[in-house]
Structure 1
């Protein structure tokens, strides 16, 4: 792990506007689940899982899973999976010692409305960390060998969440056009960042991330490798 947990700056309130909470809730929205008494968030990067645990407490479990590739269910992949559980029976509690789910009585005390939609207003000053959490939770980075370009896309069952991610990208300081939402073969939705804009967008997304430690090293390495492959392809 490149960033020790002790270096992660964490606010006392898990809902306060802060880079760490924005990153955490981006992950939860991208690959997690919130109920009245429990939060579960899944990542395949051990270092990122440790960071999420440092932010919100809880218990980590490691497993290996095989799942269908989101864009093509005929392809499967096997990978490590780290599940952070907060609240519930044996699910741990927040590190600041509050009782209940992150010190709240239920899911409605968290940034989730009655229909299960996320409310991210408190994190509006930390769009980059929120987007990074979303990408690491439900996004992909790859090198497209057929075109020699870098591909960045977001995949989720919740179309509203993906439209919110599109809005965040539209407001970021890098010009990064995105595709309209399309359906996946598994029944969800996805969109991609324009290939020409993907290098600048990805570079901005991970710029200076080591200063906070709020990133998945494996995902950043994937971006760096993809950028190097694209540069070599152009040569």
Structure 2
């Protein structure tokens, strides 16, 4: 099954949509990376938030649901003295919207989803699609930036769930690119974060978005941010 969705580029792309959004598939891995990174799973509803419209439309094509847009202001995760305003797209799945009233993505209750009774994620079904899973996680709870002080690219993950970040670190350990990272630290907002080493960030980011244009499973604004940061770093070296 496939659906045509805009990707933020000039042309629309056929998104391959799995028959089961919980089965092992690149699109389902990307979806659940986003859900874990910036979403919430309840008994009868899933909500996932992104600031990239094209990515939000892709997630809706994969799982259905209702998509809403608003402009929000929030504190920067690393420094709550800094506030940023951005577009926010919220995809609501279930709750009587896009699914039957008695099931959520075809399952009876949240325990049928890749989440255990304590709210921790189980990603074993997506083990063959770690790149898409990591890309969804990065777009859900990660940052990409150019560090002007050192002329390097920074990639980090930020979340209030320490165990989720430990799982992200395990996924990075298993990826084919050598990407060492720092220790988990606390943010000023009470969450946790860690960063990929600056020397490894370009290779890791390049691998993460390699060939993603062929599937449409990516946020165009995030890929542009990575490309711009890499170009800045190269110019700095020159």
TM-score normalised according to structure 1 size: 0.95
Would you say the 8 A contact 2:51–2:86 is kept in 1? yes
Measure how far apart 1:11 and its partner are.
1.1
In the alignment, what sits opposite 1:187? Answer: 190
Secondary structure at the aligned position of 2:16 is classed as: coil
CA distance in 2, matches of 1:25, 1:133: 7
The corresponding residue for 2:213 is 210
1: CA distance between counterparts of 2:30 and 2:201?
20
- Structure 2 counterpart of 1:87: 94
> Is 2:141 the partner of 1:138?
yes
When the two chains are superposed, the root-mean-square deviation of aligned CA atoms in Å is 1.3
> Residue 76 of structure 2 contacts residue 83 of structure 2 at CA under 8 Å; is this kept in 1?
yes
Aligned with residue 123 of structure 1, among 91, 105, 126: 126
Matches of 1:207 and 1:98, distance apart in 2: 39
Query: CA, structure 1 residues 205+98, in 2 after alignment: closer, same or farther (shift >3 Å)?
Result: farther
**Counterpart Cα distance in 1 of 2:219 and 2:52:** 6
User: 1: distance between equivalents of 2:159 and 2:203?
Assistant: 23
Distance 1:210 1:27 in 2: 18
- Poorly superposed stretches of 4+, deviation over 6 Å: none
DSSP 3-state at the match of 1:8: strand
User: Equivalents in 1 of 2:109, 2:101: separation in Å?
Assistant: 13
1:42-61 maps to which residues of 2 (within 5 A)? 42-61=49-68
Residue 141 of structure 1: how far off its partner (Å) = 0.1
In the TM superposition, 1:150-165 aligns within 5 A as 150-165=153-168
Per-residue CA distance 1:102-156 (angstroms, 9 max, x = gap): 1111100100000000010000000000000000000000000000000000000
Structure-1 residue corresponding to 2:109: 106
Q: CA deviation at 1:79?
A: 0.3
In structure 2, the residue matched to 1:199 is 202
* Aligned-partner Cα distance in 2 for 1:33–1:98: 18
The equivalent of 1:66 in structure 2 is: 73
- Report the TM-score, using the length of structure 2 for normalisation: 0.94
Unaligned residue ranges in structure 2 (runs of 5+): 1-7
Residue in structure 1 matching 2:15, options 5, 8, 11: 8
How many Å apart are 1:99 and its aligned residue?
A: 6.1
Do the aligned partners of 2:95 and 2:101 also contact (CA within 8 Å) in 1? no
